[in-house]
A = this chain, B = another copy of it.
Amino acid sequence: MKIAILPGDGIGPEIVEQAVNVLNALDEKFELESAPVGGAGYVAHGHPLPDGTLKLAQEADAILFGAVGDWKYDTLERALRPEQAILGLRKNLGLFANLRPAILYPELAGASTLKPEVVSGLDILIIRELTGDIYFGQPRGVRIAPDGAFKGEREGFDTMRYAESEIRRIAHVAFQAAQKRDKRLTSVDKANVLETFQFWKDIVTDVHREYPDVALDHMYVDNAAMQLVRAPKKFDVIVTGNMFGDILSDAAAMLTGSIGMLPSASLDANNKGLYEPSHGSAPDIAGKGIANPLATILSVAMMLRFSLNKAEQADRVERAVKKVLAQGLRTADIYEAGTTKIGTKEMGDAVVKAL
C-alpha cells in the first residue's frame, strides 16, 4: 500500500518527519512517496498543488498531510496561495467527510482555558462536510450588483449550495459514526434563515429513518457555538456543513487547549483519506524543533484505522502516545510545571520507543 507524504510549509516538514518515523517503526511496511505542496509546491513548481503532487495523491491509498501557509506567500494572488492546495485536494479527490475529534486527554486537562469540570473527559466528534457549501458554489466573484437596493454598485458575492445526495452521504457517515459511539447526533444548521440549511435539515431528518437507534437533534449554528462554550460534554457527534464546520470544529478543538494533540481525517466515498493535524503551519515556530508532532502522529493512527484497515496498528500508535503523556513528556505547547519539556524529535523518538 502506498502513502503520499505531503509535508507542506512552516512546521509541516518537522512534524511529518516524526510521523513518518512512527509509520516506519510499525511491523507493517508501506511504500512512502513525498511531494511538495502549498508554498513549497509554489516554490518548486509555480503552483501550490503541482500536477505531480495531485497525481501522487490520486494514486496513493492514503495521504499524510502536514500543514500549508506562511506569511511570505500573502502577497500572491489567491489562486496561487498555499491554502488552495488543500481546497484542491479535497475537491479533486472527493474527500467530502471531515472527521475531527475534540478530545481532552486527562493528563492535559490543565491546558484548557475552560474550567476542569466543564471539559474534563471531553470526547466529541465533529463531522464537517468538506466539498460543498459556499466553499465551492458557483457563481462567485466581484461584479456590478444586478439588482436590489445596491444595484449598479460593486459587490462581492458567493453561492451557498447543497445538493440532496451531498447531504445524504455526509448524513450516512455521521449516523454510522454515532452508532459506534454514544448514539447521539446533533445536526447543526441555520434553517431559520437559510434555504440551504432548511433543505439540509429536511434531508438529515429523512436519512434518520434508516438509523432509529441514533437520537437526532437539530441545533442552530449560533446556539451550537454557545453550547460548545457552555456545556461541550453534552455533545456526542456533531454533523454540519463546510462553512459552519470550519468555525465550530476550530472552536471545539480550542476548548481542549491542546490543539497540538488533535488529528483529523478527510475521507472519500471509499474510505480513502487525507490525514492532517487540526492545527496550522505555525510559521512563527518553524525550524526551531519545538513543534508538537503528536497531532500528526495521531493522524497516522486515524489513517491506519480508516484507510489502511489496520485497526490494531492504530490502537498501538494511540497507546504509545498515551504512554508518552503518562511519562510526563511534553512539547512546549502543552508543557506544565512538573512535566518534562522536550522538542519535536525527542517526542517522535519517545513515541517510537513506546511502540
| A→B interface (CB under 8 Å) | 78, 81, 83, 87, 113-115, 118, 134-135, 137-138, 140-142, 145, 147-150, 153-166, 190, 192-200, 221-223, 225-226, 228-231, 243-244, 246-248, 250-251, 253-255, 257, 259
Contacts and interface: CB of A to CB of B under 8 A. Distances in A.
A154 B180 CA distance: 31
A225 B231 CA distance: 16
Contacts of A257: 230
Given A87-B193, A114-B114, A163 B155 contact: yes
B160 A196 contact: no
Given A155-B164, A165-B153, A225 B247 contact: yes
7 contacts: A114-B114, A138-B147, A155-B163, A156-B199, A225-B247, A226-B254, A229-B254
B198 A221 contact: no
B157 A160 contact: yes
Given A115-B115, A147-B138, A254-B229, A156 B195 contact: yes
B250 A225 contact: yes
Nearest to A162: B156
Contact of A113 (B87, B118, B138): B118
A257 B259 CA distance: 23
